[in-house]
Amino acid sequence: MTQGHEVGPRTLPGSAERGGASVGPAPADRVGRDRARSVRVFAPTDRSRRRVLRWATRHAARTGGSLQVLVDPADPPPEPGPATTLVQLLARTAGDVVSRVLSPLRRSSACALARELAAAVAGARLLVVPQSLPQLPALVDMLTEPLVAVPDRPLPRPDACVVLALAPWTGPEVIGSAFETAARYGVDLRAVRAVEGLGDADAAERSCEDDLAVWRITRPEVGVDVEVVDREPLDALVHGSRDAQLVVAGRPARGRARDLLAPSPTADLLRLSACPVLVVPPPGPPRHAWSARPGWGSPH
């Protein structure tokens, strides 16, 4: 394990860097291509570590990615024994390349660790963390890559559906990620729209069908079920997570000032979901403003 090395967006211990080339997502660069396929995992030493590693391993194997583990040097190394052996055995199934990135992540504050993680996964396909991670809200704000929060529960059934949190303002990057994941998993997609009081339920269902039309054409192998429910959005998604293997949601566009007054359903969903939650950020830089930015995911 490298000591005293700061994790950043350009250099990572254990990366496939060659000849001083910088690490980045450039499609013509081999390192960039490898990084863009990588599923990166941060799992501190606690009881959730094995759950997170198992989920990430299964996801990488099913989607054809590589698996890379970010390690905080503040955590003690795992003791040799059955648990370590099990993780190693699982890692061998994780696609064509499985590597460990032993990267020191400083823990001076929640924001400092979130910044370290955001830099360490820049250009990667996905970051996987435990649902219990205290820095999760700050991390969601900072990331430009998708994030999955894994609860400390047994893995969901591999044939369970993927749930899409489909609001009228859900961005195409979120819908596309849900269809792509369902296609790679070989399962159905359930799109859930919560409409309090329902009103014209038929109109709401037609609106959902319109939102999904393009992806139904490009991913005809994915079976789609549209569910319009008379519930609070958070209640509907937490309920739907009980028989799903993944919930896909967008990152909210509201500013931090409004978050203080009325927290986003996505933030609570990350904490309460019974299955892993994939949060897909919109294109553009991380959210640092106290006011909402137009066009960023959900304004609510």
Name the residue range of residue 109's domain.
30-150
Domain annotation covers residue 294: no
Q: Are residues 142 and 184 in the same domain?
A: no
Better-scored residue on pLDDT, 188 or 2: 188
pLDDT of 150 higher than 60: yes
pLDDT of 41 higher than 90: yes
Best CA proximity match to 246, nearest among 174, 189, 175:
189
Task: Report the pLDDT value the prediction gives residue 141, as an integer from 0 to 100.
Answer: 86
Q: How far is CA 55 from the centre of its chain?
A: 12
Q: Are residues 98 and 137 in the same domain?
A: yes
CA distance 101 to 89: 18
Q: Are residues 144 and 35 in the same domain?
A: yes
pLDDT of 67 higher than 80: yes
Domain annotation covers residue 82: yes
Number of domains composing the chain: 2
Tokens of 199: 């009103």
Domain annotation covers residue 10: no
Domain annotation covers residue 17: no
Q: Are residues 222 and 143 in the same domain?
A: no
Q: Are residues 216 and 268 in the same domain?
A: yes
Task: Report the pLDDT value the prediction gives residue 256, as an integer from 0 to 100.
Answer: 53
Domain annotation covers residue 125: yes
Which of these three, 90, 118, 150, is where a domain ends? 150
Q: How confident is the model at residue 253 (pLDDT cuts 50, 70, 90)?
A: low
CA distance 190 to 277: 14
Q: Are residues 201 and 146 in the same domain?
A: no
pLDDT of 151 higher than 80: yes
Q: Are residues 211 and 268 in the same domain?
A: yes
Domain annotation covers residue 142: yes
* Global confidence as pTM: 0.74
Which of these three, 150, 171, 187, is where a domain ends? 150
Q: Are residues 44 and 145 in the same domain?
A: yes
Q: Are residues 116 and 174 in the same domain?
A: no
Q: Are residues 222 and 146 in the same domain?
A: no
3-state secondary structure the chain: CCCCCCCCCCCCCCCCCCCCCCCCCCCCCHHHHHHHCEEEEECCCCCCHHHHHHHHHHHHHHHCCEEEEECCCCCCCCCCCHHHHHHHHHHCCCCCCECCECCCCCCCCHHHHHHHHHHHCCCCCEEEEECCCCCHHHHHHHCCCCEEEECCCCCCCCCCEEEEECCCCCCHHHHHHHHHHHHHHCCCEEEEEECCCCCCHHHHHHHHHHHHHHHHHHCCCCCEEEEEECCCHHHHHHHHHCCEEEEEEECCCCCHHHHHHCCCHHHHHHHHCCCCEEEECCCCCCCCCCCCCCCCCCCC
- CATH number, domain with residue 120: 3.40.50.620
Q: Are residues 167 and 137 in the same domain?
A: no
Q: Using an 8 Å Cβ cutoff, are 148 and 126 in contact?
A: yes
Render the burial of 12-44: b for 16+ CB within 10 Å, e for the rest. Answer: bbebeeeeeeebebeeebebbebbbbbbbbbbb
Question: Tokens 């500013």 correspond to what residue?
Answer: 255
Q: Are residues 273 and 169 in the same domain?
A: yes
pLDDT of 112 higher than 50: yes
Task: Report the pLDDT value the prediction gives residue 162, as an integer from 0 to 100.
Answer: 98
Residues 136-147: pLDDT tens digits? 988 998 888 999
Domain annotation covers residue 80: yes
CA distance 245 to 50: 17
Q: Using an 8 Å Cβ cutoff, are 50 and 86 in contact?
A: yes
Domain annotation covers residue 9: no
Which of these three, 150, 180, 214, is where a domain ends? 150
Question: Tokens 């992540």 correspond to what residue?
Answer: 105
pLDDT of 68 higher than 60: yes
Q: Using an 8 Å Cβ cutoff, are 294 and 282 in contact?
A: no
Least confident of 52-56, 115-119, 127-131, 263-267: 263-267
